[in-house]
């Protein structure tokens, strides 16, 4: 994981160095800037694979690359497509650059992982982003120069408008943009799984494989453990692969997450670490949380606060952490989805929720972990896991009255997890950690009704954004102190689970 910044049709390295100054938190292990005749690439590195040989930007045969992410199958691709070449490193970065030179833009279809990268090759620029948008990438235009970076803040001094580079897309300066990945192939096909039992076996197998891939690292790996179903499954599968696993949990005094996580850690025998924070600490870190998050969406900020403390705690011991992100979108885990009573409505909503992840929960996870130089990995969002989940009949995901959500997922791992974990109701990260109501209370104390009404009307007229409450205004006001509103509003995702 790293931060990247660059420009096409300029040789101004000072501009890129200034952009990188705002991304140093993403890569504390090194920084580099290289210019060619047609562009500049910059990189701040968090070293995970090939600690010595993977420095960037990296050059091969006149082409340059800067890369943010991890390619889990890079060694397989290297042995299959590059066996006649002599590589200088054991890094996935070099494999990417050589695959581009060997196979052309279509090589992106072969990649398993999370990524955003740029390649300068002679007069050409090539950009690509992973299928779901786990890794961020933003674009801006200034005069005739195309700028790009991992975070909006890096572009704030350079441009009047920023756009999100779409997930599942590559761009070539001569060939244009191409959407190489589409996760939804329409309605699930009948007969893919004849029985629920076969589906549960497939879920177990695909998640076991996804976790296995994401344990690839030359540094310590941990697991975020809230004590909920999703993170408990990830921790369970990681413990099956590793002799020693470190788990991390945070919350306010008396929070349900801390208690449940402790029970699960004892069950698995992990080295477990927790941090208890207070309302005063929440208020103190909120400006930093919002600065790194680059969003004022209330649900996102609420969950970002415990995520911030978790990332800080984990950074003391590991550089890579696995999380349970994505399970709720794949298996209908949110409470609001209970109101969707037909398979058609539920499947449609799940597709939308997955498409929006890169602007909501994935953005939150990326920004909070990278604020402390930690790489977050998301096994549930492996492309095979997504394909499997969306191939299942949606009626199997409908929650019956009084029944917990995600019953298919719960039953798939019921024999391996404590009953208290299998039956534990879904908790929002902020609710389980105890921060949800505290943040709303702080916001209510900041603004009177007239100020709220005035801002609500202005934001609707200017951006067609309906300000939901004073809490949202509090977060937006905090974000506007560090980023211009013109850059915030067009790209801000809105959580559907609010």
Active site residues per annotation: 2
Task: Identify the H or E element spanning 478.
Answer: helix 470-480
Place of tokens 């995702």: 493
| Alpha-carbon distances of 245 from 4, 86, 270, 375, rounded to whole Å | 30, 36, 5, 16
User: 96 forms bridges with which residues in the sheet?
Assistant: none
Q: Which DSSP symbol is given to 48?
A: -
Q: Give the separation between CA 129 and CA 36, rounded to whole angstroms.
A: 23
Distance of CA 389 to the CA centre of its chain: 19
User: 118 forms bridges with which residues in the sheet?
Assistant: 66, 127
Contact in structure between 25 and 372 (CB atoms under 8 Å): yes
How many Å is the maximal CA-CA distance in the chain?
70
User: 163 forms bridges with which residues in the sheet?
Assistant: 139
Q: How many CB atoms lie within 10 A of CB 403?
A: 10
Distance of CA 170 to the CA centre of its chain: 19
For 383-409, the DSSP string reads: HHHHHHHHHS-GGGGPPPTTSPS-HHH
- C-alpha dihedral, 119 to 123 to 124 to 125, nearest 10°: 50
User: 125 forms bridges with which residues in the sheet?
Assistant: 120
| Alpha-carbon distances of 413 from 67, 193, 399, 409, 422, rounded to whole Å | 36, 18, 17, 7, 8
- Burial status of residue 477 (CB atoms within 10 A of its CB: 0-12, 13-18, 19 or more): middle
Three-class DSSP category at 454? helix
């Amino acid at each position: 994981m790293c931060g990247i910044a660059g420009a096409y049709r300029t040789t101004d390295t000072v501009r890129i160095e200034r952009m990188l100054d705002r991304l140093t938190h993403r890569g504390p292990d090194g920084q580099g800037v290289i210019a060619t005749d047609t562009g500049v690439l910059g990189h701040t590195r968090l070293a995970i694979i090939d600690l010595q040989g993977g420095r960037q930007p990296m050059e091969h045969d006149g082409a340059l690359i800067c890369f943010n992410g991890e390619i889990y199958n890079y060694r397989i691709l290297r042995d299959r497509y590059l066996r006649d070449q002599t590589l200088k490193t054991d890094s996935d970065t070099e494999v990417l650059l050589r695959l581009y030179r060997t196979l052309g833009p279509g090589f992106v279809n072969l990649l398993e992982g999370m990524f955003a990268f740029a390649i300068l090759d002679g007069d050409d620029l090539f950009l690509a982003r992973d299928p779901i948008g786990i890794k961020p990438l933003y674009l801006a235009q200034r005069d005739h120069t195309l700028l790009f970076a991992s975070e909006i803040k890096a572009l704030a001094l350079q441009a009047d408008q920023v756009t999100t580079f779409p997930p599942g897309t590559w761009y070539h300066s001569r060939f244009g943009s191409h959407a190489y990945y589409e996760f939804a192939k329409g309605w699930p096909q009948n007969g893919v799984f004849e029985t629920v039992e076969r589906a549960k076996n497939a879920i177990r197998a695909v998640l076991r494989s996804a976790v296995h891939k994401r344990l690839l690292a030359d540094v310590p790996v941990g697991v975020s453990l809230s004590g909920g179903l999703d993170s408990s499954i990830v921790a369970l599968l990681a413990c099956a692969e590793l002799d020693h696993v470190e788990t991390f949990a945070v919350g306010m005094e008396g929070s349900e997450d801390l208690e449940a996580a402790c029970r699960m850690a004892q069950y698995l025998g992990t080295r477990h670490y927790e941090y208890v924070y207070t309302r005063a600490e929440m208020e103190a870190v909120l400006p930093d949380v919002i600065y790194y998050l680059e969003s004022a969406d209330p649900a996102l900020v609420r969950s970002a606060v415990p995520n911030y403390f978790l990332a800080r705690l984990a950074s003391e011991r590991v550089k890579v952490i696995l999380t349970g992100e994505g399970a709720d979108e794949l298996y209908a885990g949110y409470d609001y989805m209970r109101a969707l009573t037909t398979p058609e409505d539920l499947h449609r909503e799940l597709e939308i929720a997955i498409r929006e992840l890169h602007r909501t929960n994935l953005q939150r996870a990326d920004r909070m972990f990278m604020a402390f130089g930690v790489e977050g990995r998301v096994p549930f969002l492996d492309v095979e896991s997504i394909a499997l989940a969306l191939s299942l009949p949606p009626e199997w995901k409908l929650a019956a009255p009084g029944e917990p959500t995600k019953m298919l997922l719960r039953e798939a791992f019921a024999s391996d997890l404590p009953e208290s974990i299998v039956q534990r109701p879904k908790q929002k990260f902020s609710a389980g950690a105890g921060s949800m109501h505290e943040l709303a209370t702080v916001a209510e104390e900041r603004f009177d009704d007239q100020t709220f009404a005035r801002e609500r009307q202005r934001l609707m007229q200017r951006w067609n954004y309906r300000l939901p409450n004073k809490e949202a205004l509090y977060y937006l006001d905090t974000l506007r102190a560090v980023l211009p509103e013109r850059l915030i509003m067009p790209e801000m995702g809105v959580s559907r689970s609010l």
